[in-house]
Amino acid sequence: MDAGSAVTGFLKAVNRACATEDGPALARLLSLRDGHVPHVYRGVPAVNVEALASSLIKAERPVAAVAAAHLRAASKLMTGNMEDAFNHQCTCCDKLAAYISEVEEGNWQLKALNIVMFELRQLAKLVDEMLAGQDQQVEAISKATRLFQDCFRAVGNDRRADIARSKKVGMMFIANHMFNLAFRDNNFAYVNTIIRTMNSNKRIEHYQPMCHRVTFYYYMGRKALLDAAYGEARTYFEKALQHCHKDSTRNLRLILLNLIPVNMLLGRMPTLELLQEHDLLQFHALTQALKVGDLPSLDKELETHQEFFTKWNVFLVLQKLQLLAYRNLFKRVHALQQGKTQIHLRVFHQALQCIGMEDVDMDETECIMANLIHHLYVRGYISFQKKIVVFSAELPFPPVGSRV
């Protein structure tokens, strides 16, 4: 088959998919990773694809523009012109969203929109990386984000009562794409609006493939973690872990990379078996140091694995374990005092010196204890005049998780 015939065959296939409302077929045809791409791209420069698409595709007007933009994007991608491929893919996404808005019944086109948005997202990252390497202004991710916001509004405006046939079911996968770009670009200006909209449309969750739900739970957990809402973060990460397919080892590990630090902050330590199973032994020595309140070892482990923890965006969270380590050390000291409710600060100062923190003086010890009381790790108060800590008679060291 020559290139021109391949273009014509592609356009006829798009027309057939739209006429029969075949969502999976349209999604495959609009994918830049599909097998048709190497066959059609040579024929694109030789014909007026917009005019040919308009003559061969009988569905609503935007479909011809969608197909033409896809062919242009495929042609530029195969010749290595990433910037032009990205711009044509933007047009494809924009016109597809317009088509979905125009169609009054059904939501069969959403699978195709998901594919187009995913590949647009990948192109945006490649283009920005390329431009950054050339010391040029990066704007592809920002442009894709604005386009995704338009897509989110387009499907969210459907007022159909039957959720199963509503375009609103596409809101979750669009939100996932937007979350991905937000964390990539470190721009969360619009994310709270997306979350509020999703929270007011919880019914759509039951109509989602499990993969979309797991991804959504994961990103909601990461946003809660960013906001230091650790209890909420744990809830979302646990839901993601519970519903993630057992064979998706990469995704399970990704969820655990976030869940383990949250659980540690809330007093729940990972087992050695879990860490071995998912190749996360970087947390093991850290866990052991935290349990006994060994601050020097904790700091050493954080420094040793800083590159790994930073790569996965959990280093700053793990740094907050230091206060919990102080709590665990002082709890051991309190236990050695056989339940006394009044203990001189000097005893805690000596404990810090015993673990190798000779440079910490009494004033710093007092500040550490005051911080523990302020953050509810310790119940009691400090008599500053007498340098004595007065502990609550009941649960002077409450369970860490009770603070949430």
pLDDT per residue as tens digits for the range 21-51: 999 999 999 999 999 999 887 778 767 888 9
| DSSP assignment of 200-242 | TTGGGGGGS-HHHHHHHHHHHHHHHHHTT-HHHHHHHHHHHHH
pLDDT higher than threshold 90 for residue 233: yes
Please check whether residues 130 and 145 belong to one and the same domain.
yes
Q: What is the pLDDT of residue 163?
A: 84
For residues 27 and 137, membership in a common domain is answered with yes
Per-residue pLDDT, averaged over 249-274, amounts to 97
| DSSP annotation of 108 | T
For residue 14, the model assigns a pLDDT of: 94
d(CA 376, CA 293): 17
Report the range of poorest mean pLDDT among 52-61, 145-154, 244-253, 311-320.
52-61
For residue 293, give its domain range.
Answer: 209-319
Q: Are residues 297 and 346 in the same domain?
A: no
The domain boundary residue, chosen from 274, 300, 319: 319
- Asked whether residue 358 is assigned to any structural domain, the reply reads yes
Q: Label residue 158 by pLDDT band (50, 70, 90).
A: confident
pLDDT given at position 403: 67
Residue at token pair 């990461």: 222
Whole-number Å distance between alpha carbons of 315 and 317: 5
Lowest mean pLDDT across 4-8, 154-158, 213-217? 4-8
pLDDT of 176 higher than 60 = yes
DSSP for 9-70?
Answer: HHHHHHHHHHHTT-HHHHHHHT-TTSTTHHHHGGGTTTS-HHHHHHHH--S-HHHHHHHHHH
* Direct distance between the N- and C-terminal alpha carbons of the chain, in angstroms, rounded to an integer: 65
- What is the pLDDT, as a whole number, of residue 165? 86
254 — phi, psi (to 5°)? Answer: -65, -40
Is residue 188 one of the residues assigned to a domain?
no
Q: Are both 162 and 305 inside the same structural domain?
A: no
Domain boundary among 151, 166, 181: 166
Are residues 275 and 335 part of one domain?
Answer: no
What whole-number distance in Å separates Cα of residue 123 and Cα of residue 85? 8
Regarding whether 341 and 308 lie in a shared domain, the answer is: no
Q: Tell me, what DSSP letter sits at residue 380?
A: E
**What is the CA 337 to chain-centroid distance, rounded?**
46
Q: CATH number of the domain that 361 lies in?
A: 1.10.10.10
Considering the domain architecture, whether residues 50 and 74 belong to the same structural domain is answered as: yes
Task: Compute CA distances 44 → 8, 36, 300, 334, whole Å.
Answer: 10, 13, 59, 77
Query: Which of 99, 134, 166 is where one domain is finished?
Result: 166
Looking at the domain assignment, is residue 200 inside a domain? Answer: no
Residues 306 and 348 reside in one and the same domain: no
Name 380's bridge partners.
391
pLDDT of residue 3: 59
Say whether both 350 and 310 belong to one domain.
no
In a domain, 202, yes or no: no
What confidence tier does 350 reach under pLDDT thresholds 50, 70, 90?
very high
pLDDT of the residue at 23 = 94
d(CA 165, CA 105) in angstroms, rounded, equals 8
Return the structure tokens found at 102: 């125009």
> Do 336 and 399 belong together in one domain?
yes
Residue 279 has pLDDT above 70, yes or no: yes
The predicted model scores a pTM of 0.92
Q: How many domains does the chain have?
A: 3
pLDDT digits (tens, 9 = 90+) for 71-128: 999 999 999 999 999 999 999 999 999 999 888 778 999 999 999 999 999 999 999 9
Distance CA 267, CA 90 (A): 46
pLDDT at position 361 over 90:
yes
The mean per-residue pLDDT over the stretch 384-403 comes to 90
Is 90 exceeded by the pLDDT of residue 371?
A: yes
